Amino acid sequence: MLSIEQRTSHSGQDYLDQANLSEVKGSPNQSLLPLTATVNNCDHLEVGGCDIQTLVKQFGSPLYVLDEVTLRTACHQYREAFKTYYAGTSQVIYASKAWSCLGIVNIVASEGLGFDVVSGGELHTTVKALEMMNWSREKIAQNLYFHGNNKSQEELKIAIDIGCTIIVDNWLELEILVKLAEQNPALTIPILLRLTPGIECHTHEYIRTGHLDSKFGFDPNQLDRLFTYVSQQQSLDCRGLHAHIGSQIFERQPHEDLGSVMVEWLKKAQNYGLKCQELNIGGGLGIRYVESDDPPSIEQWVKTVSEAVMKACEANQLPYPKLIAEPGRSLVGSACITAYTIGSRKEIPDLRTYIAIDGGMSDNPRPITYQSQYCVVVANRLSAPYSETVTIAGKHCESGDILIKDIKLPLTQPGDILVVMATGAYNHSMASNYNRLPRPAAVLVNNGEANLILQRETYDDLISQDRLPQRLLSYSS
């Protein structure tokens, strides 16, 4: 565990200096703040040319602020890096579980990326956004991959109707697909097979998905049976293999190992007559949440996986497959900040000082779920010296609702704006209405313009799905 001094700067300006250094490096996932972050003449934080305090006055808080430039830059870097380092065909698809909404789908699609979805809801959101962009059904199908370890039959029917590639996770799913195909003998379902590579990486236990003890994918000892079964199903068009070793990964060696293992499996599949020509190596590149984090750049990660796959193909005398990657966090995570308004203060002599904000675990469940750490600044007084150690508490009726424990900040006042960095991935997508708090709004900022991409929920929204049986009204006085 890092000391407070190691985890904090002396003023908010220091974070901006580090963000500028990251911009020179050119990789958004290495930046603490969005690439457009700067300080204005009022000593306020600006992102996308928009003053954060002004945004809070206009849209309220908590408020997700998404920087369009940072998101587009990350998309561009992934796409161009694969063109540079991979000699075969490649496709980058956004792991939309990180944050799925119409606005983000639109931006990512306009940058030439496809989509990985993991539920009927994400599938519906993505298709609707792409239809609004006038994408053809064929183009949508070609750029959409459907994940999940327990897809419902209804979800599979929708995916089949769309024509997207289904990444098959287990035997039950295979059997359901075959039965659904029997209803239409002319139907051929495009699939990838998800395999568990047994590769360990140093990340949180909940987000390590590549080790053998995982709920995801077919085990390696099932390959002969699996490839035999799939090769006998005329309704299944097995286009390739998929594996994913985890999330928030900083090491490159596990991805080198993954490329080698998957190419060997690809060759084995082809020996069974499967025309596998796609290799999906998942995602998992980490981002910088605190100063000590040092993830590889997007370019370094792409170079590593590309060279590993090409080397393995050459060793096995195989043509280069279509290489697919599924970044999520490293695309959108660093592009967003969350702005809160500071409220009450509680000082416990010789123990701790609590500073409360107007949000917490309902808009960012990652600290209580994963013990995640973040960096913060007081956005309306960036140059103020960091003079006290405080704990940032959420407003929920839950003692564990602590956003950040023991961090240095300037002396704050009620009404100050606290900004938490790198909140684009899994914050809104995991948000809840715990304590019946409405979920926050989200704005997209670019060149001084701010546009709502998610409207703030109202109290009426909270009860919109409630139903009161008529018989209960008879008990009313």
Catalytic residue positions? 397
Please, what sign has the CA dihedral across residues 47, 48, 53, 59? negative
What is the C-alpha separation between 427 and 424, in angstroms, rounded?
Answer: 6
- Distance set, CA 208 to CA 96, 136, 166, 199, 416 (Å): 18, 36, 22, 9, 38
45-47 vs 50-51, strand pairing mode: antiparallel
With 0-12 / 13-18 / 19 or more C-beta atoms within 10 angstroms meaning exposed / middle / buried, residue 463 is exposed
DSSP class of residue 436?
Answer: G
Quote the tokens at residue 374: 């973040």
DSSP string, 184-195: -TT--EEEEEEB
Residues 192, 278 contacting (CB under 8 angstroms): yes
Q: How far apart are CA 260 and CA 315, in angstroms?
A: 10
The distance between the two most distant Cα atoms of the chain, rounded to a whole number of Å, is 81
Element containing residue 197 per DSSP (H, E): none
User: Distance between CA 318 and CA 331 in Å, rounded?
Assistant: 31
Specify the length of the chain in residues.
477
Other C-beta atoms closer than 10 Å to the C-beta of 291 total: 16
Question: Collapsing DSSP states into helix, strand and coil, what is residue 217?
Answer: coil
Q: Can you spell out the DSSP letters for 273-335?
A: T----EEE----B----STT--PPPHHHHHHHHHHHHHHHHHHTT-PPPEEEE---HHHHGGG
d(CA 209, CA 193): 15
Closest CA to 57 of 447, 461, 441: 441
